[in-house]
Amino acid sequence: LLTEINQSTILVPALQSEWLIMHVSMMILGYAALLCGSLLSVALLVITFRKQAQLIQQLDYWSSRVISLGFIFLTIGILSGAVWANEAWGSYWNWDPKETWA
């Protein structure tokens, strides 16, 4: 098994694109930002019961900003994925079940 790991193979042309790197990076950043924004929103709900007004305002501000940032990253990720698909397979969208359900 270790000898097989050390042997590298050439990737298929569809996986050799810079668009793939951008697509995956933006999607990871987008999901991470949405996770952080969601956690800030949960913290906001917990803090609301304690009635700490200044902390509530700060958490509300930061959760909305982080969720907005996540939306931007996901939008860029989806668009770069479409450009990558067009470059790799000649179509922005194929209505493939895997593509559609993902």
Tell me, yes or no, whether 59 lies in a domain.
Answer: yes
Tell me, yes or no, whether 82 lies in a domain.
Answer: yes
Q: What does the pLDDT look like over 3-59, one tens digit per residue?
A: 766 777 787 877 888 899 999 999 999 999 999 999 999 988 888 877 778 888 888
CB 17 within 8 A of CB 88: yes
Q: What does the pLDDT look like over 61-78, one tens digit per residue?
A: 999 999 999 999 999 999
Q: Which residue range forms the structural domain that includes residue 91?
A: 20-101
Domain count, the chain: 1
Tell me, yes or no, whether 1 lies in a domain.
Answer: no
pTM score, whole prediction: 0.79
The fraction of the chain above a pLDDT of 70, given in percent, is 95
Tell me, yes or no, whether 38 lies in a domain.
Answer: yes
CA distances from 98 to 36, 39, 83 (A): 28, 30, 17
Tell me, yes or no, whether 37 lies in a domain.
Answer: yes
Per-residue pLDDT band for 1 (boundaries 50, 70, 90) equals: low
Tell me, yes or no, whether 13 lies in a domain.
Answer: no
Tell me, yes or no, whether 7 lies in a domain.
Answer: no
| Res. 97: pLDDT tops 80 | yes
How far apart are alpha carbons 102 and 98 in whole angstroms? 6
By residue count, the chain amounts to 102
